[in-house]
Amino acid sequence: MAALTSTSSVLLLPVSTLPLPRGQLKAQYGPTLEAALRHAKPNDQSISRFDIAIILKDAVTSRSTLFDSLQHLLADVYTLICLIAAQHKVELDFPSGVDARVFLINLSADDKDVSPLTGPLVSVAALAASRRQYAHWRAPESLHSSDYSRRLQQLGESVKSLPEGHASAVLSDQPQASPAPDRQATRLHHRVAVGGTFDHIHIGHKLLLTATIFIAQPGEDREITIGITGDELLVNKKHATVLESWDVRQQRTADFIESILVFNNDVSSIRSVQHIDEPGPNGKIVKVTYTDAKNGSKIAINYTRISDPFGPTITDESISALVISAETRAGGKAVNDKRTEKGWAPLEVFEVDVLDAGSDDMEQDAKVEKTTFESKISSTEIRRRLAAAKQPTAAL
């Protein structure tokens, strides 16, 4: 994992229950997030890590059941970060900007539960035991005196309290879209897949990857397949000269996943990495396995080079769930058509939101910044800017 630097920080945010409508979330967390994001911004060309730990109460259910409301929450928090960053000219995932990563705290988890491999939903005890070396710990004032908050202060030096929003304010006059009902399905998944290019990781990728790790239910060994498109399929992409190579995309994806999944004070002691390079489709794999030292339970993550839109989902029958974004819904259907043809059970498909700046309840300022917002969640736009920076004379 990339070492936490002198500017890394963690912000605690409380959520009482889910679902939380977007307008209410904005009123409640906007001021806190805005202040924290501006503090987090580095003064040089580096990129600061900015972790956000959202505290969930009453999450006493399975991950499949919680999935829809949880992914909405993640999507809304990431969207709010993008909006605030656009308004205040804070770069995201770009030099002299901020690398925001959201994970969750399960406040219902037992105080003795220090299991290091339940991220992105972790117990207070495991987070405290991970001894992550954040330089700054931040929280709105209302959290400072809570018991768990005091236990987490060892994660970094606390700075003065951040401003608070209003829990009861609802900004939007528009009727809220009613949240998706929690699934009736109680099927638990231990083998989950996702696919993508993952070039220059941004917030859209982070949402997709976090949802993928989340849906794999702990309790037995888990196996996750992250299909990453091979370089040969990307030669016609725009600004291809600054595309990251497969190896770099794999490493950055793995670094992100480790940061939201593993909460252990010595990650390298529980991690093993295997490089497999065999001929044929899906033959190149970096397999990263983490083992819970207490009870031996494992989570293995295959970073697999894929050369078609299916990857291992149509060659490995044991995979049972697929995570997609609404944009790639057709791909999910294509996978299941192929599996059905083979006489295999279809995958249960879990969909994450496509991030957008919203339209109805957006303030005028935010509308002006819509383009900036979109540039923060587009690999093509990130590459365009990087390519321009390399050739100053050709820039804009």
Ligand X SMILES: *[C@@H]1O[C@H](CO)[C@@H](O)[C@H](O)[C@H]1NC(C)=O
The residues binding ligand X (CB under 6 A) are: 59-61, 63, 66, 106, 108-110, 113, 115, 121, 218-219, 223, 225, 276, 285, 287, 292, 295, 297, 302, 312, 316, 319
- 95, 252, 56, 48 alpha-carbon torsion, rounded to 10°: -20
Minimum CB distance to ligand X, residue 188 (Å): 10
Q: How far is the CB of 68 from ligand X (least distance, A)?
A: 13
Q: What angle do CA 375, 350, 341 make, to 5 degrees?
A: 115
CB of 314 to ligand X, least distance (A): 11
**Residue nearer to ligand X on the CB measure, 28 or 225:** 225
Q: Return the structure tokens found at 223.
A: 């196996």
CA dihedral 134, 135, 141, 146 (to 10 degrees): 40
Identity of the residue, 134 or 214, whose beta carbon is nearer to ligand X in the bound complex: 214
Nearer to ligand X, 161 or 217 (CB): 217
CB 196 within 8 A of CB 87: no
Q: Which residue is nearest to ligand X (CB)?
A: 115
Q: How far is the CB of 380 from ligand X (least distance, A)?
A: 29
Query: Other CB atoms closer than 10 Å to residue 65's CB: what's the count?
Result: 17
Q: In whole angstroms, how close is the CB of 51 to ligand X at the nearest point?
A: 20
C-beta closer to ligand X: residue 162 or 194? 194
Q: Say how many residues make up the chain.
A: 396
Kindly give the interhelix angle for 203-215 and 246-261, rounded to the nearest 10 degrees. Answer: 60
Nearer to ligand X, 56 or 155 (CB): 56
- Provide, rounded to whole angstroms, the least separation between the CB of residue 55 and ligand X: 12
Cβ at position 312, least distance to ligand X in Å: 4
Our CB check for ligand X shows the closer of 160 and 294 to be 294
- Of the pair 134, 303, the CB lying nearest ligand X is at 303
